[in-house]
Amino acid sequence: MPRSSPTGQTRSDATRAALIAAATEVFARSGFEAVGTREIASAAGVHPALIGYHFGGKEGLYLAVFEHIASAMGQRVGPALAGIEAALAEPADPAAASARGLALLCQLCDAMVATLADEASGPWGPLMMREQQSPTPAFDLIYERFMKRMLGAMTKLVRVVDPSRSEAAARLTVVGIMGQIMVFRVARAGVMRHLGWQRLGAAQLAQAQAAVRENVQRLCGPGTLSEGPNGGPRRRPSAPQRKLRG
């Protein structure tokens, strides 16, 4: 019978977790190609052969890292997503649907900002950036396991807020929203320097969430987008524009 720790984790589970944690840091720092199994094993404090035993090799360990990221993001954002999906499945008063949709969208954005601003997600930025630039099966994994569900829910909410918006326009709106959220992880150093922040604590997080919510309200309000010539969105003035005088 496998030995377990006081927390109920077996030695095998502990080894697997240590390898995933070490690999996350090492892959984030150096990339997949530049890393060898010995370096990862050394960082985890285990024998290199255990990578093959638990994951079948370096590729399997790399995928396990993204499984872990998808699972961690799901745990943080999953409850908000589940609540939103349940709300979308229920009939709503048309008069209140837009306001409710906006509140739910902002709730989801709050959860995403908190997750990506957390120090624990630090190594995720470089990993996800590399996969966005040069996708591998790891990108497929995290997209199917987490991103697809989240982006789909956000797109539905944008169309609840503004029913006149097309599917294509709503999807592009979501891309814009996600850019504002992801920047707190993938461009963290520049964000912190620009804002004059030394740390991203509770007060700074609240400011970031409030700023994203305000921008989401502006992006998603009815009448802010119209169809462009190629089926994409084109910003529509909310009030008559003043003509410039020569």
Token digits of residue 15:
């080894």
What pLDDT, in 10s, does the model give residues 64-93?
A: 999 999 999 989 898 889 999 998 888 878
Per-residue confidence (pLDDT) for residue 92, from 0 to 100: 77
Confidence band for 162, pLDDT divided at 50, 70 and 90: very high
Percent of the chain scored above 90 by pLDDT?
69
Residue the block writes with tokens 């690999």: 23
Q: Is the pLDDT of residue 240 over 80?
A: no
**Cβ atoms 94, 129 nearer than 8 A:** no
What pLDDT, in 10s, does the model give residues 104-125?
A: 999 999 999 999 888 888 899 8
* Total-model pTM: 0.81
Which range, of 84-98, 188-202, 220-234, averages the lowest pLDDT?
220-234
Per-residue confidence (pLDDT) for residue 154, from 0 to 100: 96
Phi and psi at residue 54, in whole multiples of 5°?
-85, -30
Q: Can you list the alpha helix ranges (DSSP code H) found in the chain?
A: 11-30, 37-44, 49-55, 58-89, 94-117, 124-133, 137-142, 148-161, 167-186, 188-195, 202-220
Mean pLDDT within 10-33: 94
Per-residue confidence (pLDDT) for residue 6, from 0 to 100: 52
The upper half-sphere exposure of residue 154, i.e. CA atoms within 13 Å in the direction of its Cβ, equals 29
Which range, of 17-21, 23-27, 50-54, 79-83, averages the lowest pLDDT?
79-83
